């Protein structure tokens, strides 16, 4: 069956495709010429982040018009511009700890400026999830915190900051991914919360972000039985149209999470999920980081079939295409701002429990955890930062169980610095906490979601591994003033 040219153009105009590697493939450039709504960029596309403007210019030239160019620049553990060097901003959890709304706005305004210079139009951030479950495998430090009211204020500040640069902000992952024990990248995630709990918790940051003018909201691939026991949120009219559009009054652009994620691709399939999401009220559908040239034909074909059978109306398709086009241009920029994150804020993001010891020839043990799907592998090292400030620093990087007795032997007669990341989700790290508690001159650096430490063990919490946070942590451990920020190449 041949595909009507106008239907194909409309279906593609609701679609954002990704691709692998630094060079846009010919199939993607052809899809842009044929009406593709835009592109989502990932770390594999951007290298060291210095040639993004040239890349986005090339993508626009292929389309011959303004298109949506999106990426996930959350700061902290999830960055696309800084995958080679680590994020230039501290990240949501650290900013939530700082609790200064003006700083949060300025940090996100600086992100917005960098994105504008790079030719990006849509930042798939901020994360509006409240991290209610400390064992959550996918949100964690990406959240501003576990208090819904405080998170709501931070989210609103982040939206104001990003959009001051004319970049569209995107609240995610509606209606809230923070109380789940599953990662929707790899399996269906169920949000077992009552309507009353959702109203008092998860929905507060989304309400605040919408009130702050957020131009888009991302729907998470979440099953929320209290709202719709049969459909994940992405394809649920009750959640997208009824709750988000109706009760919350959102009139902006509704964006899907990546269609390639297992919670959707592994259940409905990408093309069927695309159609059901459009029917539910989603406007803009993105595929994810992989190559999917087959979708350039498969999506329009599935949309045409849905129109023919009456599952989808042409009015809904046209509405989605028109809304998606809103994200292709800049919004109203606010007061001017520079691209540099305010200097010195990372020191204020740190939390110290107890008294930090004076370090003597420290042995620094870094626990390396598996990177999340959303963040990918990022460079970081407390060992290197501390070695630049103190003599006699030695380091161990471990990613599996360690013999506690051997570790204590290596640390005999010297200080022990143990850096952990989420030991409640990594049992082998929990064992090392008990080992550190037996050392007479030990300090714990907690770089993940805060976890209880053994009694008497001094703790320095960074809530992230961004370079600025680790520099500030090293300075605190060395009893020095934090060094000035290392400037970032402005794309």
Residues with catalytic function: 185, 257
- Whole-number Cα distances in Å, 40 to 18, 24, 110, 120, 483: 5, 11, 20, 10, 35
CA angle, 450 then 176 then 323, to 5°: 135
Dist CA 470 CA 459 (whole Å): 14
Query: Which run of H or of E encompasses 16?
Result: strand 15-17
Dihedral Cα 292, 296, 298, 299, nearest 10 deg: 100
With contact defined as beta carbons under 8 Å apart, do 167 and 120 qualify? yes
For 259, half-sphere exposure in the C-beta direction (CA atoms, 13 angstrom radius) is 29
> What DSSP string describes 446-475?
E-SS-----TT--EEE-SS--HHHHHHHHH
Dihedral Cα 55, 464, 484, 479, nearest 10 deg: -160
Distant-in-sequence, close-in-space partners of 294: CB < 8 Å, separation ≥ 6: none
- Whole-number Cα distances in Å, 299 to 13, 305, 418: 11, 10, 50
The two counts, helices (H) then strands (E), for the chain are 19, 16
Distant-in-sequence, close-in-space partners of 226: CB < 8 Å, separation ≥ 6: 193, 194, 195, 198
Neighbours of 198 (CB within 10 A): 19
Whether the upstream peptide bond of residue 103 has omega within 30° of 0, thus cis, is no
Adjacent-strand bridge partners of 68? 38
């Amino acid at each position: 069956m041949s595909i009507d040219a106008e239907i194909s153009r409309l279906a593609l105009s609701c679609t954002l495709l990704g691709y692998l590697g630094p060079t846009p493939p010919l199939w993607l450039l052809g899809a842009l010429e044929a009406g593709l709504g835009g592109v989502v960029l990932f770390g594999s596309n951007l290298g060291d982040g210095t040639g993004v403007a040239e890349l986005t210019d090339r993508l626009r030239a292929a389309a011959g018009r303004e298109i949506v160019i999106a990426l996930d620049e959350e700061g902290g553990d999830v960055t696309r511009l800084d995958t080679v060097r680590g994020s230039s901003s501290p990240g949501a959890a650290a900013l939530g700890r700082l609790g200064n709304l003006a700083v949060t706005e300025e940090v996100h305004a600086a992100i917005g400026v960098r994105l504008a210079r790079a030719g990006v139009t849509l930042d798939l951030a901020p994360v509006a999830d409240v991290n209610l479950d400390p064992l959550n495998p996918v949100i964690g430090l990406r959240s501003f915190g576990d208090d819904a009211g405080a998170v709501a204020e931070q989210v609103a500040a982040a939206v104001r900051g990003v959009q001051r640069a004319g970049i569209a902000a995107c609240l995610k992952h509606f209606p809230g991914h923070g109380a789940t024990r599953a990662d929707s990248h790899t399996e269906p995630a169920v949000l077992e919360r009552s309507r009353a709990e959702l109203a008092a918790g998860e929905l507060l940051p989304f309400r605040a972000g919408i009130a702050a003018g957020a131009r888009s909201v991302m729907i998470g691939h979440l099953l929320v039985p209290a709202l719709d026991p049969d459909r994940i949120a992405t394809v649920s009219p009750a959640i997208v149209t009824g709750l988000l559009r109706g009760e919350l009054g959102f009139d902006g652009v509704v964006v899907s999470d990546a269609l390639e994620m297992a919670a959707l691709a592994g259940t409905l399939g990408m093309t069927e999920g695309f159609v059901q999401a459009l029917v539910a009220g989603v406007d803009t559908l993105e595929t994810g980081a992989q190559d999917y040239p087959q979708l350039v034909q498969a999506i329009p074909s599935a949309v045409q079939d849905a129109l023919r059978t009456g599952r989808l109306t042409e009015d809904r398709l046209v509405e989605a295409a028109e809304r998606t086009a809103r994200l292709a241009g800049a919004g109203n920029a606010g007061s001017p701002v520079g691209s540099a994150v305010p200097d010195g804020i990372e020191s204020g993001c740190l939390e110290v429990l107890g008294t930090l010891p004076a370090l003597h020839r420290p042995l620094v043990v870094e626990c390396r955890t598996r990177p999340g799907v959303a963040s990918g592998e990022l460079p970081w090292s407390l060992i290197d930062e501390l070695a630049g400030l103190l003599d006699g620093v030695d380091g161990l990087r471990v990613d599996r169980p360690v013999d506690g007795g051997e570790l204590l032997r290596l640390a005999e007669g010297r200080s022990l610095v143990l850096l952990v990341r989420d030991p409640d989700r990594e049992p082998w790290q929990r064992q090392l906490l008990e080992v550190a508690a037996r050392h007479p001159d030990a300090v714990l650096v907690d770089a993940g979601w805060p976890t209880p430490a053994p009694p008497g063990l001094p703790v320095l919490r960074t809530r992230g591994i961004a370079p600025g946070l680790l520099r500030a942590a090293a300075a605190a451990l060395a009893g020095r003033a934090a060094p000035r920020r290392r400037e970032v190449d402005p794309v």
